[in-house]
Amino acid sequence: MNSLSSIRAFAVDGDGVLYRGNEPLPGLADFFAFLHQHAVPVTLVTNNATQTQQSFSDKLARFGVTLPPDAIITASIATAEYLQKQFPPGTRMFAIGNGVRHALEAAGFTLAERDVAAVVVGMDTSLTYAHLRTATVHINNGAAFIGTNPDKSFPFEGGLAPGNGAILAALAAATGVEPFIVGKPYPPMFELALQKMGVDAAHAAMVGDRLETDILGGKNAGMRTIAVLSGVTSAAMLAERDIRPDRVFDGLEDLLTALRETRK
């Protein structure tokens, strides 16, 4: 059960796993070189809804890692792909957040202020009261209420800043309607990663640093889960929680050492 040898594909989180901010974490380039060498599919699965796939690909390239944009699943891209399964092309949607607006347009939807079938909400640092009011009216009129990711806050230089989860909470409070959320820990994002990698959940692992998103979501999706302690979760925190990953490593270097043992 806890063996790494049957894992045929890896979905990996970004911050706290591959890099911390703008610094690569130890073992990053070697980890990807190993996966490429053994033809193991890998996707980057991030709840970030503001950056493009290309910007993550460029960032990894600066760290010596080649990962094409198509192998990068942001919360905005996953939301647009999910909505393509629910609504026909051209469907009118009211969207908050430039990241998800860009993704919806690229997916063939029509951004609109009126007569919309869905309200789609992603992180927006230019959010205004008028945006919240328009979204509230549409949700009350029966438009689907979709969120890219549930993160309530995120760190910035001055402390913690409100995240997309806080925007969703404002709309949920105003309407009494809870959003359908695409990002981790909810299933659509993991399903998209498995689909892109062409493997079933039982033969794929989710590697992440955050228990309540990466690990819980991976478990719920039926994947193997690997926690690394190079991000937000310490060994002491892990011991206190009832979310149990299948394996725990200090970071990518240790995971890679263990992987090499299985492929000798």
Q: How far is the CB of 1 from Mg ion (least distance, A)?
A: 25
Residue whose entry in the numeric block shows the structure tokens 């919360």: 75
Stretch 62-121 residues interacting with Mg ion (CB under 5 A): none
Q: How far is CA 225 from CA 91, 182, 187, in A?
A: 37, 19, 14
Cβ–Cβ < 8 Å for 179, 147: yes
Do the beta carbons of residue 179 and residue 135 sit within 8 Å?
no
Q: How far is the CB of 209 from Mg ion (least distance, A)?
A: 4
* Least distance between Mg ion and beta carbon 36 (Å): 22
In 3D space, the residue among 107, 57, 63 whose CA is nearest the CA of residue 82 turns out to be 107
Tell me the residue nearest to Mg ion as measured from the CB. Answer: 16
Nearer to Mg ion, 165 or 231 (CB): 231
Q: Looking only at residues 4 through 33 of this chain, which bind Mg ion when binding is defined by CB under 5 A?
A: 13, 15-16
124 binding Mg ion? (CB under 5 A): no
151 counts as binding Mg ion under rule CB under 5 A: no
252 CA to centre of own chain: 19
81 vs 151, which CB is nearer to Mg ion? 151
Count of residues near Mg ion by CB under 5 A = 5
| Per-residue contact string for residues 198-227; x = within reach of Mg ion by CB under 5 A | -----------x------------------
Question: Do residues 90 and 109 touch, judged by C-beta distance below 8 A?
Answer: yes
CB of 229 to Mg ion, least distance (A): 12
Do 246 and 51 contact (CB within 8 A), yes or no? no
Residue-wise DSSP of 139-171 = HHTT-EEEES----EEEETTEEEE-HHHHHHHH
Question: Locate tokens 């949920």: which residue?
Answer: 172
In the complex, least distance from residue 196 CB atom to Mg ion, rounded to whole angstroms: 19
Take residue 223 and report the two structure tokens written for it.
Answer: 């994947």
Identify whether the C-beta of residue 50 lies closer than 8 Å to the C-beta of residue 16: no
Q: Which helix (H) or strand (E) holds 96?
A: strand 92-96
Q: Which stretch binds Mg ion (CB under 5 A): 2-10, 22-30, 175-183, 228-236?
A: 228-236
| Residue 245 touching Mg ion (CB under 5 A) | no
Known catalytic residues are: 13, 15
**Per-position x/- string for 159-198, each x denoting binding to Mg ion as judged by CB under 5 A, each - no binding:** ----------------------------------------
Residues that bind Mg ion (CB under 5 A): 13, 15-16, 209, 231
